[in-house]
Amino acid sequence: MPTTVKEMVAAANAAVPRIGADEAQALHAKGGAVFIDLREPAEIAASGKVPGALAIPRGLLEFRVDPDSPARDPALGKPVVITYCASGGRAALAGKLMQDLGYTDVRNLGGFKDWVDGGGTVEKG
């Protein structure tokens, strides 16, 4: 039986811990986490991103995070990875994929709006 996107997101949400803006901001302040913004470039240009977040559109994620890929970003060596997107679906799927690739501490912030509404600073440009 085929799997639906809704089922895939639900399974990813069950596997990847969801965190709130307060916890995400505390991890950001400590510097021990890397944030990955999974939105498309136009989405980021319109609203900004978490300061220092890696901008990796969901469609390129596998190539940029695979530990054996020459395109892997060195910032992914931090112990905690926090994913986010516009509403949380892409972030959940990305977190599950990263767990499948061997990342052990992946968390889902959900949507960028959650960061902003929680008082998080925004990097523009």
Instruction: Give the residue extent of every domain in the chain.
Output: 5-117
Residues 57 and 84 sit within 8 Å (Cβ to Cβ): no
Quick check: pTM over 0.95?
no
Per residue in 68-94, pLDDT (tens digit) is 999 998 999 999 999 999 999 999 999
Strand positions, DSSP E, the chain: 33-37, 54-55, 80-85, 106-111
CATH code reported for the domain at 5-117:
3.40.250.10
Q: How confident is the model at residue 108 (pLDDT cuts 50, 70, 90)?
A: very high
pLDDT in tens, 19-37: 999 999 999 999 989 999 9
Q: Tell me: the pLDDT tens digits for 44-75?
A: 999 999 999 999 999 999 999 999 999 998 99
